[in-house]
Chain A
Amino acid sequence: DAGVIQSPRHEVTEMGQEVTLRCKPISGHNSLFWYRQTMMRGLELLIYFNNNVPIDDSGMPEDRFSAKMPNASFSTLKIQPSEPRDSAVYFCASSPQGQLLSNQPQHFGDGTRLSIL
């Protein structure tokens, strides 16, 4: 079975440029999560969706960050304009959680390593 698929795996770009990270969740999963991981701050939840609807975006650092989920099989995280402090590994995860049930784990992609010069 295909897991969570993220692209690109690596991105190096200059500050000020727009960056778009992509995620394809596991088929049938209806919750999708975007995380950022850095040495200083650890793993941070940026935003999550349920049934394509954003539930909580309080972790999005600032207006330069935006996320969309136009359908059940695709999501994007966009940074515009990018800054060097945005350099991190960005993970997407999905879970089958769709109702008020617990104990369903999240499945993570391999991440996008982003470097802003």
Chain B
Amino acid sequence: GNSVTQMEGPVTLSEEAFLTINCTYTATGYPSLFWYVQYPGEGLQLLLKATKADDKGSNKGFEATYRKETTSFHLEKGSVQVSDSAVYFCAQDRGSTLGRLYFGRGTQLTVWP
């Protein structure tokens, strides 16, 4: 089957610290990979995506690289801000289904000033 495993939270950092949230996927075929972010009281929003091996998705200072050899898609940011406090979800599709995504459990990030 398909499953996404991501680092359990919560993660607490000081402003300007380096962030890594680990994510690994399992899949047959060639899935696309996604990171979503959920701010308090809101729905999930797409943060970035990568559609094939070695692609790097990036947005708002966040980056993630599609690593087929390690089946990973770790989220990184060099310097976090208080406004980055949110829940982050890693997700994949199966590359051939009708839009269904498989989500990880989510990682709560809190950034302190």
Interface residues of A (CB under 8 A from B): 4, 31, 33, 42-43, 45, 48, 50, 55-56, 91, 93, 95-98, 100, 102-111
Interface residues of B (CB under 8 A from A): 30-32, 34, 41-46, 49, 51, 89, 93-101, 103, 105-106
Known: A43-B89, A103-B32. A110 touches B101 (CB 8 A): no
- Complex partner residue of B98 from A45, A93, A98, CB under 8 angstroms: A98
Contact of B31 among A4, A102, A108, A109 (CB under 8 A): A102
Specify which chain B residues have a CB less than 8 angstroms from the CB of A48 in the assembled complex.
98-100
Inter-chain contact A102/B46, CB cutoff 8 Å = no
Question: B2 → chain A, closest Cβ, in Å?
Answer: 12
> Cβ of A45 and Cβ of B100 under 8 Å apart?
yes
Within 8 Å CB of B41, what residues of A?
110
In the bound complex, CA of A104 to CA of B31 (Å): 11
- Evaluate whether A42 and B106 lie within 8 angstroms (CB atoms) in the complex, with A102-B51, A109-B43 already known: yes
Check A111–B51 contact: CB distance below 8 A: no
Contact present for A105 and B49 (CB under 8 Å): yes
A104–B101 CA distance with the chains assembled, in angstroms: 10
Q: A91-B43, A105-B49, A109-B43 are in contact. Are A100 and B96 (CB under 8 A)?
A: yes
Beta-carbon contact of B43 and A103 below 8 Å: no
**B89: nearest residue on chain A (CB-CB)?**
A43
A/B interface sample: 10 pairs, CB < 8 A: A43-B44, A43-B103, A48-B98, A48-B99, A100-B96, A102-B31, A104-B99, A108-B44, A109-B43, A110-B41
A-B complex: 3 closest residue pairs judged by Cβ atoms:
A97-B99, A108-B43, A31-B99
Q: Tell me if B101 and A106 are in contact (CB < 8 A).
A: yes
Residues of B within 8 A of A100 (CB): 96-98
Q: Which one of A56, A91, A98, A103 lies within 8 Å of B44 (CB-CB)? A: A91
A95-B36 Cα distance, complex, nearest whole Å: 14
